[in-house]
Structure 1
Amino acid sequence: MFTAEIINNIQMDNVLVPTKTLIVGGQPTIEDLLLLDRIGVKHVVNLRGENEVNHFDEWNVLREMESDYHAIPLTNIHSFTKDAAERLDNILSFNKPTLIHCATGNRVGALITLHAFWCEGVSAQQALERGIQAGLTQLKPGISQLIGL
């Protein structure tokens, strides 16, 4: 689904494909959302806070495209909760092509780590590895502490 040609045409930073139905990264452009919509991505999860600057109204763009918009604002380490991981679990349970993004992809990897640990029951080390594969970088120390590493 997410071919090299598709990935090379996406403008958002730090694009990664951790699973066959999941694409992650930084803030997408309108063109990115249109491209992903054309290949069947109908769920978009935005982890950015309400106060973060975006150059377009993502919710309205996705509504016009008849895609589902999900907001799970993660603004500091204290917002990385089991509830946030469970909200992501609910979205991923549809097993549909999904984009998860924040500004750079770091928060995406952090939430993927917590989702794997709290919702899928994988070991802390395996969860951390999944998170790194999904973009976890600067939040690694704080997320490691949350899962007991």
Structure 2
Amino acid sequence: MLKSLDLPFEKRASDNMLTAGQPDAEQFRAAADAGVQHVINLRPIPEQGEDQTSMVEDLGMRYHHLPIASEHDLNPHTVAMLDGLLGEIGDKPTVFHCASGNRVGALLALRAAWHEGKSAEEALEIGRATGMTKLEPAVARLLQQGSPQQ
């Protein structure tokens, strides 16, 4: 089980996945030291300060970038990309972040409903538990529309 790393807005999505806001260089170093193998970043390039790709890969972790700029990026295609990525990663220790964890929780909520068959309420609860805040109304609207055609 991946131990807590005291990341900004840290939440536990599973035994080996922490969701969070933006880690700094020292926190990425601590994540690598704790055995994290994958970092998933949802922040678009214009939002990022440092080059996370080099920083993460130089520490021996795999870097994955799935930019989510706004609620418009919360769509079946993006959620399917995340589902595929999480399928590849499996149970390997992972840090999944955006700026505050809001987008992470939103995507995990949609994945729970659209790919794992959870009810809308169960999916919203997963989203809240993993960092979703301001995007909850948008996610709730999408969930009310039902499961998209895959």
Q: Is the contact between residue 2 and residue 17 of structure 1 (CA under 8 Å) also seen in structure 2?
A: no
Q: Give, as a single letter, the amino acid of the residue that structure 2 aligns with 1:35.
A: A
Q: 1:22–1:100: 8 Å Cα contact kept in structure 2?
A: yes
1:140 aligns with 2:136: yes
Aligned equivalents of 1:43 and 1:2: distance in 2?
12
Aligned to 1:2: 2
Task: Provide the C-alpha distance between the structure 1 equivalents of 2:85 and 2:29, rounded to a whole number of angstroms.
Answer: 20
Among the aligned pairs, what percent are the same residue? 35
1:50 and 2:45 equivalent? yes
How far apart, in 2, do the equivalents of 1:62 and 1:97 lie? Answer: 14
The equivalent residue for 1:110 is 106
For 1:97 and 1:82, how far apart are their aligned partners in 2? 25
Aligned residues between the structures: 143
Shift of 1:46: 0.4
Tell me what 1:60 maps to. Answer: 54
CA RMSD of aligned residues (A): 1.4
Q: Which sections of structure 1, spanning at least 5 residues, go unmatched?
A: none
Identify which of 21, 26, 30 aligns with 1:26. 21
2:68 aligned residue (45, 66, 74): 74
Q: Which moved more, 1:80-89 or 1:97-106?
A: 80-89
Is structure 2 residue 31 aligned with structure 1 residue 36? yes
Could you say which residue in structure 1 is the equivalent of 2:148? none
Which TM-score applies when normalising by structure 1?
0.89
Paired AA for residue 97 in structure 2: H
Cα distance, 1:18 vs structure 2: 2.3
CA distance in 2 between partners of 1:53 and 1:87 (Å): 21
| CA–CA separation in structure 2 for the residues paired with 1:142 and 1:79 | 11
Query: Which structure 2 residue ranges, 5 or more long, are not aligned?
Result: 146-150
Deviations 1:20-63 (A, max 9, x none): 01101100011111111112211111001111032x21100112
